[in-house]
Amino acid sequence: MKIAVISDIHGNLEALKKAVQDIEKRKVNTIVCAGDLVGYGPYQNEVIEYINSKNILLIYGNYDAAVANNDVNFIKDTPFNKNFALPWSVNTVSEENKNWLKKLPESITLAINGKVIKVVHGSPLKVNQYLFEDAEDTKEIMEKFQGDVLVCAHTHLPFVKYFGDKMMINDGSVGKPKNATHNITYALINIDYEISAEIIELKHDNSALIEELKRLDVHKEVIDSFVEGK
């Protein structure tokens, strides 16, 4: 069985379409989205509509929660987020879509061929906790984790790592990478008697998205983050 995990789309519709088209070519059984459909990008409602048109399992991310509830505590409480980034997204996303985001689950647990895969956005403890590959709190989380595979997102930095006989996967980001590129990443998990996983990276050009942000007169810090991949 093949499972693809996407996340951190952040209003980047073209990147999302490109990722899903590539996934569909690989004949996966299930697509799971680990949250953060909205925030930053210009096509936040369109991303939700596209996700709804596909058979995708879905949880909410911290930015989804921040926008749906107009609550900066789910994201970094900085002047930029509080005074611009969050208000702009709150005003951009429709009330219908905010209510839809509020109904999404916080996590998904899949039991396949005797293996347990848990999908969260930040960590099993908090939706906005960053679990970096070599951090001490990541190791502590994995020591306590009861399943076989923990899939997370949020950092926008992809990796696959073993902690003893347990695997941790971060699928990276479809729409807003933080590895100094514009490239799309997602995770592809193969589950048979054993589990294997790989990070798929697709070349992408965000020029059209950046021009749309400029046309909308979005804050320069948002534009720069897409330009620089940070």
Domains and CATH numbers, the chain: 2-228 (3.60.21.10)
Q: Report pLDDT for 46.
A: 98
Q: Report pLDDT for 103.
A: 98
Q: Report pLDDT for 55.
A: 84
User: Are the C-beta atoms of residues 63 and 38 closer than 8 Å to each other?
Assistant: yes
Question: Tens of pLDDT along 140-162?
Answer: 999 999 999 999 999 999 999 99
Task: For residues 26 and 20, give the distance between their C-alpha atoms in angstroms, rounded to a whole number.
Answer: 10
Q: What is the 3-state secondary structure (H, E, C) of the chain?
A: CEEEEECCCCCCHHHHHHHHHHHHHCCCCEEEECCCCCCCCCCHHHHHHHHHCCCEEECCCHHHHHHHHCCHHHCCCCHHHHHHHHHHHHHHCCHHHHHHHHCCCCCEEEEECCEEEEECCCCCCCCCCCCCCCCHHHHHHHHHCCCCEEEECCCCCCEEEEECCEEEEECCCCCCCCCCCCCEEEEEEEECCCEEEEEEEECCCCHHHHHHHHHCCCCHHHHHHHHHCC
Q: What is the mean pLDDT of the chain?
A: 96
Q: Report pLDDT for 193.
A: 81
pLDDT for residue 41 is more than 90: yes
Q: What integer is the mean pLDDT of 92-117?
A: 96
Predicted confidence band at 110 (pLDDT cuts at 50, 70, 90)?
Answer: very high
pLDDT for residue 117 is more than 90: yes
- For the question of whether the overall pTM of this predicted structure is more than 0.95, the answer is yes
pLDDT for residue 57 is more than 90: yes
User: Are the C-beta atoms of residues 183 and 37 closer than 8 Å to each other?
Assistant: no
Question: Tens of pLDDT along 177-222?
Answer: 999 999 999 999 999 888 999 999 999 999 999 999 999 999 899 9
pLDDT for residue 229 is more than 90: no
